[in-house]
Structure 1
């Protein structure tokens, strides 16, 4: 018929098939069963690392197949050649190329052709293809290993991972999340059912924290949240959340996070706060008792006021230390609390200037004692004993050190003491441990004290 398309010749079909295999990087092989003869196309030879020419035997093929996978390949061939099974399954296995020694991952497919029908048919040809999928397999295994490490880490940390779809308000459930919030492990609670476990007021507080974080341009949030869980009562979990992939318009569609139990930590902190409060109260009582005993024992002794001042400095230091939940204090708090009794009496004669900084508990008791000693000495014998006198306390932070400078001017002329009493020994050696240092310069115009303290 005019205009009809001639059917493709077998040669054209074979050429097209060969081109398709080349384009896909697929190698073709044939096993002629009766002759036990293998035929590999050039691509198949290249995949296996065989020479471009020369015969290929079964022994050559099985010699390069990884020993752990040889059984898999043999079994697949046996099932394919069994007329009762005639398997056409795909199978993945490893080879060690004889030319480079590298390990490669291959996917094999095969189909057998038989003479005759039924269970007595005789296999004539077993043909198939091979593809190198090393990169894909390595990527898959790497992802699987990463997922396994993540799972083990989450299990070890006793965390529950959750995933919220913002548009549908659906949470991807997990047995861990269900256990933590008091649902059966195989349950599929809705997002609203999960939120129902919040303690009163927690949902509103958490939503406010999230809104504040988003207003600051942040994409993550961490907060302690109280829950009421059946069978557990009130528990505290730490919730960490992060916005996931965004749409082209910039709006995030998912929030992914973890939940882990912090109940014991919160209870321990509450116990510590109670103990700190009790210890603070007892130390203040002991300081008061020490003052009472001193007044009764040394009434009329001219050194009594000096001793009581030191007791007050210690009490103030303890009050600061145990009055905070943290193991650190602000430098401004220590300096101003130490100097406040003297500022009340000499407010126009004392100047304080310097930056604030976090101060470890290793330092603030020593600073409180030294400042009290310097101020007491200035009030009795130095610049503060005269209306014209002046004290300047300045400090700076440099090279991870706190440098303080106490300068007295306008008071009586100063001369170095002939003997070292308790106060001087306290300033020079007793208040701080090495490498902390206090240097005293008894200048005629007024005492100069320089204090150098490593902050680390």
Structure 2
């Protein structure tokens, strides 16, 4: 900063501490003491032109504006002051002044805030326009929020909708206040507003009184003069009732669609003014027309069969006639474009606007199958009449007006009357089994409602002696002028024996299914000519249904090694070369992994009456996988026992061979101890099913007498993590530990009171997992040093650890006691040698 001499250094330091882009300093006479480059640039005057001169003579305009009294106030009161005002030198700019008293006078720091002020004024003007706009919407439901979601405007309509007054809502988060649930993530809505300026959608919100609302919101993003987003205006509409109505309508339409689809009913709508016919796809399907082509009244007339066209057109005219307004309900025939004749039921209702028909809405249903069934029933009835004439059933007739029953001579016997007695209708009605008369009445009423006059059913009837008889009823109803039945004519057949046989057959089949299910069997049948097979569900063997499947596909699922044998047996059975067979084979079952063993028994169930060849094969099959697996495990166990026995005998043989024989008693004791060690190892392996043995258990078995604490007794201490030994290592290490223990009892730490043997082990990674076991003796007789020759114990250690297990043995004959270190690999058995947590720690 330029200054005339060093006297202004304090002022300069003060000015640098002030806030501002430009700074200068004045003495008590308002002469310039300092003047930085930024001020020189702003005022357009270099420092040498102003220093030493008063501000009033340098910039005369400062003496006539608002700046002069402010400067004099600070000079007089000696207190800092900050002010904003129009520039004294450049009135078109808006300046922020920070004025501090200094020892020499005052320091002034100022910044040009013109652009910020203009932006603030623009924002204020924008907000005023927004308030004007919102004021016009105040009676509607609208609000405005800033970009942080804080409510800045709340219309009276919002107050009425949500229940909060403007004073309560302003300043709160709109989303939290209204518990808004968005149809999409809020970030997606904000992105849409930023990209397009608006977003419309439904929001789920909660009013003050707890009412759940669905509000249609139209959000508009407001920007200031610079294009910066400043607020979001929301126009809101309560559509809760509308959405509920729409949902109910959609549900109703869905139910209607399901009902019409289930009933196979087509819906059509003919508008007369435009002569436009709208049909559902089921109508075009019934008529055999292309659903992609528009349906017209002319096309509809063309599909009506010529024999029925006049009748259909007459019904349509009566429906459109304002005097009759007759509802249409008729059946007719239509002929599809491919020539096929179909029977349809047509129902329709006219719609009038005043006295003028505007449209007809109706349904179309294909009743061809029902008509064919009726025709078949009529034909059956004709055949039945012929049978009646042959004396196998009774014909009857009921006059419903006179309430009188008449019939053929066989009728009294069927109804339990004497041969000479005339059947009485009132008495016959009392003999229906409980509930049967009501059920028969419901069937007749339902048939009449469908426009059918023929009824066929079976019912139970009680004879005077109390025995129940099953009767089959076939009747045709005649209607009177009122549309109500006035006569019923039909036949009655005693089917008691047939029903008893059917019931006995069902019971027999049920018992068979239960027996098959109890035995875990699956029944099957094969058609040898069609090469089609059927079987019961293996998951539900008691089910009465059999599912079809391809015989070749099933044969393809059989194991290649067994497929030829199974195919040969089936072919032999199919040609009659054998009468039955039993076979075991493997098959791939989708529900399981791997192969399943099946035991199947088959025989010839039926033969062709003309050729004598088998026409149906039948049999049962069961899953014997578990039995096969058990047999395999038993065989494997036998082989394993044989292998272990040979190993044990080999170890015993080696023990006998290596044990010194000079002293018979010592020889017997040594052999017995080593065989006992081997037996203990075998026992540990048997407990683990020959998968291995735990190291600590092996050591505890060998050293059990020395694991109990005593005052002066020799003892053993075991320290190490859980380790699982593979079988070979179990036997070998058991022999090695036995030799070490025997040596310690005879010559080492276990030979005198106070002696201590410490066995420590750990698992290490040396390329692979290894077990390191340290045997340390203390408190025994002094050790004179390494023996001059190798004893039997040393040879056993070498033979078991190094030769058999591929490990290492290191012996140290220290004076204070023997030390032995054994290293063996742990992966020889192919099983996890250590618990998972220990292995994970090592890794």
d(CA) in 2 for partners of 1:430 and 1:111? 83
User: In the aligned structure 2, how far is the partner of 1:198 from the partner of 1:227?
Assistant: 4
Query: Which of residues 181, 189, 195 is equivalent to 2:301?
Result: 195
CA offset at residue 18 of structure 1?
A: 4.1
5+ residue gaps, structure 2, are 1-126, 433-486, 488-843
Give 2:188's aligned residue. 75
Quickly say closer, same or farther: Cα 1:92–1:219, change in 2 above 3 A.
farther
Larger relative contact order (CA 8 Å, sep ≥ 6): 1
RMSD between aligned residues: 4.0
For the pair 1:434 / 2:430, whether they are aligned, the reply is yes
- Structure 1 SS opposite 2:356: coil
Distance 1:261 1:277 in 2: 26
Shift in CA distance, 425/369, structure 1 to aligned 2, threshold 3 Å = same
Deviation at 1:220, TM superposition (A): 1.3
CA gap 1:422/1:165 in 2 versus in 1, 3 angstroms = closer
8 Å CA contact 1:29–1:38 kept in 2: the answer is yes
Indicate the SS of the match to 1:161. Answer: strand
Q: Distance in 1 between matches of 2:374 and 2:313?
A: 25
2:160 aligned with 1:46: yes
State how many pairs are aligned: 303
Partner of 2:381: 276
What SS does structure 1 have at the residue aligned with 2:261?
Answer: helix
1:72 deviates by: 5.4
- 1:231 CA displacement: 4.0
SS in 2 for 1:364: strand
Residues 27/214 of structure 1: CA separation in 2 closer, same or farther (3 Å cut): closer
* Counterparts in 2 of 1:110 and 1:195: CA distance versus 1, 3 Å: same
Give the stretch that moved more between structures: 224-233 or 190-199. Answer: 224-233
1:46 is paired with a residue of what secondary structure?
helix
- Which residue number corresponds to residue 111 of structure 1? 220
Contact 1:224/1:237, CA 8 A, preserved across alignment: yes
**The one of 127, 151, 160 aligned to 2:257:** 151
Aligned to 2:146: 32
After superposition, residues 44-193 of structure 1 pair within 5 angstroms as 44-56=158-170, 59=173, 61-62=175-176, 64-67=178-181, 69=182, 71=184, 75-80=188-193, 82=194, 85-97=195-207, 99-115=208-224, 121-193=227-299
Structure index of larger Rg? 2
Aligned to 1:334: none
Aligned to 1:292: none
Q: In the alignment, is the contact (CA less than 8 A) between 1:241 and 1:258 conserved in 2?
A: yes
Q: Distance in 2 between matches of 1:58 and 1:183?
A: 63
CA distance in 1, matches of 2:375, 2:425: 38
Deviation of the 1:236 alpha carbon: 0.8
Q: What is the CA deviation profile of residues 402-456 of structure 1, one whole-angstrom value per residue up to 9, with x for unaligned ones?
A: xxxxxxxxxxxxxxxxxxx9467666899625269xxxxxxxxxxxxxxxxxx9x
Which deviates more, 52-61 or 137-146? 52-61
How far 1:197 sits from its partner (Å)?
A: 0.9
Supply the distance in 2 between the matched residues of 1:435 and 1:123 (Cα, whole angstroms). Answer: 90
Instruction: Tell me how far apart the structure 2 counterparts of residues 165 and 431 of structure 1 sit (CA, whole Å).
Output: 58
**TM-score (norm: length of structure 2):** 0.32
Cα distance change, pair 160–208 in 1 and its aligned pair in 2 (3 A) = same
Alignment correspondent of 1:364: 405
In structure 2, relative to structure 1, the CA distance for the partners of 1:65 and 1:179 (3 Å cut) is farther
Contact 1:93 1:107 in 2 (8 A): yes
Match of 1:227 in 2: 334
Change (3 A) 1:190 1:211: closer
C-alpha deviations, 1:10-31, integer Å up to 9, x for none?
9999789646642xxx222112
| Residues 167, 369 of structure 1: alpha-carbon distance in 2 compared, 3 angstrom cutoff | farther
**2:366 alignment counterpart:** 261
Cα contact 1:213–1:219 (8 A) shared by 2: yes
**Structure 2 CA distance for aligned equivalents of residues 142 and 58 of structure 1:** 35
From the superposition, tell whether residues 205 and 429 of structure 1 become closer, same or farther in structure 2 (CA, over 3 Å): closer
Measured after TM superposition, the shift of residue 144 of structure 1 is 2.1
Q: Which runs of 5+ in 1 are unaligned?
A: 1-9, 288-313, 321-328, 332-355, 373-420, 437-454
CA contact 2:149–2:175 (8 Å) conserved in 1:
no
